[in-house]
Amino acid sequence: MNYLKTIAVSAFFTLFAAGAVFASGFLGMPVAHADAAVPATTATIAADECGVTQADVAQIATVQNDPTLAYADEIKQELAVRKLLVGETIDCAQQEVQALQTSLASTSAPSSAQQLQSQLEGDLNEATGFYNNELAKLDVVGIAGTKQIAQEVLTWRAGTFLPLGENVNNFILWAQNQDLFSTAQTRMAQTQRAVSFIESATPNPALQTALASAQSSFDDAETENTAVEAALTQNLSPDQTLGLIKQSLSSLSDTYKGFSNVSTIVSGILPQ
C-alpha cells in the first residue's frame, strides 16, 4: 500500500468533511470560511499523490471571497468546486484499491491460502463498489451533502479500508516469504544428512547440539509461519499479524545462524 497516497486521501477527506480549505501557510491564500487546516507537509503530499493541485483547492477560497458574486451564485459555484474535489479525491482512493488488486492478483500463494486470497480479492471489490456508490451520491447533494459524503468515506476508510489494505499487504508479504521457508527446509534436510553421515563415523556432541539448535529455530519459524496464516484467516489485527511475520523471519534468521555453526564445526572435523 502506498502510504503517502493513504495520507493524502485521508487528509483531503478530513478537510472536506469539515468544510475546510487549506490554510494559508502553504497555499498563500486567505483562510476566511476555513474551519480547519492540515499541516503543510501533509498537504504537499496530498497534492503530489492525488493530482489535486494547490490551485484546485484554492478555488474554494476564491469563490468564497469573490465580492462580485451574489450569495446564490457563490453557493452554486462553491458546490461545483467541492463536488469536483471530493470526486477527484474518491478517484485517488480508487487508485489505492486498484494498486492493491494488482499486487494481490500477481501474488502466488500456497494452495492452503488460495481461498483466503479470493476472500481478500472480494473485499477489495467491495471497496470499489463503496467508492462508486459515494461518487454517485455526489450528483444529487448540496454543500452539506459533500461534507457528509467526505465524512462517510473517512469513517469507512478508518474502520474498514485501512485495516483491509494492511491485511492485504501482510498476506502478500507472507506469501512471498514461503519460498524462504521452502529453501530453509531443503537446507535443513541436507544438513541433517551431512551430520548423520559424519556422526556415523565420529560422534561429536558439539555437532549434535548445533544441529539441534538449528532444528529448534526452524521449528519455531514454521510454527510462527503457520500462525501467520491462521491470523490472516481469522482476520486478527494487522499489527498482530505483522508481528508474527517479523517473528517468523527472526526465527528463520536464527536457523541460518545454526546452519553456519554446524558448517563451522564440520569444517573442524573433516580433514583439510
CA angle at 157 for the pair 151 and 160, rounded to the nearest 5°: 130
State the Cα–Cα distance between residues 21 and 222, nearest whole angstrom: 51
pLDDT computed for residue 271 by the predictor: 67
pLDDT band at 4 (very low <50, low <70, confident <90, very high): confident
Whether the per-residue pLDDT at 38 is higher than 80: the answer is no
State the Cα–Cα distance between residues 39 and 236, nearest whole angstrom: 32
Exposure letters 69-78 (e unless 16+ CB within 10 A, then b): eeeeebeebb
Question: Which distant-in-sequence residues (6+ apart) come within 8 Å of 211 by Cβ?
Answer: 191, 192, 195, 258, 262
pLDDT band at 31 (very low <50, low <70, confident <90, very high): very low
Q: What are the angstrom distances between the C-alpha of 98 and each of 87, 105, 121, 254?
A: 16, 10, 11, 37
Residues 54-76: what's their mean pLDDT? Answer: 86
Would you list the DSSP string of 213-265? Answer: HHHHHHHHHHHHHHHHHHHHHTT--HHHHHHHHHHHHHHHHHHHHHHHHHHHH
Distance separating the N- and C-terminal Cα atoms of the chain? 52
pLDDT band at 7 (very low <50, low <70, confident <90, very high): confident
**pLDDT single digits (tens) 155-192:** 999 999 999 999 999 999 999 999 999 999 999 999 99
Whether the per-residue pLDDT at 266 is higher than 70: the answer is yes
pLDDT computed for residue 231 by the predictor: 97
pLDDT band at 26 (very low <50, low <70, confident <90, very high): very low
State the Cα–Cα distance between residues 255 and 188, nearest whole angstrom: 9
Take residue 13 and report the three cell numbers written for it. 477527506
pLDDT computed for residue 254 by the predictor: 98
pLDDT computed for residue 49 by the predictor: 67
**Which comes out higher in pLDDT, residue 170 or 53?**
170
**Which comes out higher in pLDDT, residue 5 or 193?**
193
Place of cell 458574486: 69
pLDDT computed for residue 19 by the predictor: 64
**pLDDT single digits (tens) 70-116:** 999 899 998 999 999 999 999 989 999 999 999 999 999 999 999 99
Residue of 92, 127, 77, 116 whose CA lies nearest to 10: 92
**Which comes out higher in pLDDT, residue 2 or 99?**
99
**Which comes out higher in pLDDT, residue 94 or 28?**
94
Residue of 257, 264, 254 whose CA lies nearest to 222: 254
pLDDT computed for residue 55 by the predictor: 76
**pLDDT single digits (tens) 189-243:** 999 999 999 988 888 999 999 999 999 999 999 999 999 999 999 999 999 999 9
**pLDDT single digits (tens) 116-125:** 999 999 999 9
Q: How many CA atoms lie within 13 A of 66 on its CB side?
A: 18
